[in-house]
Amino acid sequence: MRLVLDTNTVVSVLFWDGSPSLLQDAVRAGKVQLYTSPALLTELARVLGRRKFSARMGRLSVGAAEVLTSLPQS
């Protein structure tokens, strides 16, 4: 299955457990493929750069640039 996620959903998948983490598990298992667009990537970069997410980004094993490049554009 191919999915295009809005910015809020991507942020939830990255930073919170529970239901959002189920989507991350499905991506890792190859059950779904994520796609995006240049406009969504621009918005995601702006959101991930916000001060309120800096500590959470520091706890990820990847940085914002890696998150952005990991989403295939369609």
Instruction: Quote the pTM value.
Output: 0.75
**pLDDT recorded at residue 7:** 93
Q: To which residue do tokens 């959002």 refer?
A: 20
Gap between the Cα atoms of 12 and 9, Å rounded: 5
Q: What's residue 31's pLDDT?
A: 95
pLDDT digits (tens, 9 = 90+) for 16-71: 888 888 998 898 899 999 888 899 999 999 998 888 888 887 887 777 787 777 77
Of the two residues 74 and 13, the one the predictor is more confident about is: 13
Q: Please, which pLDDT band fits residue 73 given cuts at 50, 70 and 90?
A: low
Residue 54 is which amino acid? S
Alpha helices in 1-74 (DSSP H): 7-15, 19-28, 38-48, 54-59, 64-70
